[in-house]
Copies of this chain bind each other. A is one copy, B any other.
């Protein structure tokens, strides 16, 4: 079965794009903000690179918290839990970095994420978005799931040419350089 876009805009949930040997897939990134003491939980069979990607993303958000209207000391008062269903499927790689950042900011600011937006891109500690692989397969999977707008790293612009024009016409592509542009496009505000 194919995942379809959520019925409504949600807080703390974003749509990412995965790329495996058998094609592309969409995946949901879920984030919970819990009263706590700064622990970061990462579940959903995430590999080392994906866990480090989450850690770099969270540190980026901590470093610019006030810029995004987040309580400066949120890290001391809350635990963050990032989960990626389906829990039995191993996931890895850095390409969900920008997706995880967006989910975390959504959860911390209680701002909903637009239900028909998906994104992919490695994120650095400064919030820069780096290019990733599998763009064609990812876009096809997003299209199949009902996604209307896809945020891609600017350096992946050439990969858009390889997407069948029938699909390309139905998707609004936005090239992004950093996390703030992802937030501008994905958050409802």
Contact = CB atoms under 8 A, between A and B. Distances in A.
Interface string A50-65: 0011011001101100
A151 B41 CA distance: 28
Copies of this chain, whole number: 6
A94 B86 contact: yes
Interface in A34-69: 34-36, 41, 43-45, 48-49, 52-53, 55-56, 59-60, 62-63
B56 A81 contact: yes
A72 interface: yes
Q: Main SS of chain A's interface residues?
A: mixed
Contacts of A72: 35
Contact of A122 (B12, B56, B63, B87): B87
A97 B87 contact: yes
Closest 7 CB pairs of A and B: A87-B94, A30-B125, A43-B52, A83-B125, A59-B81, A32-B63, A85-B124
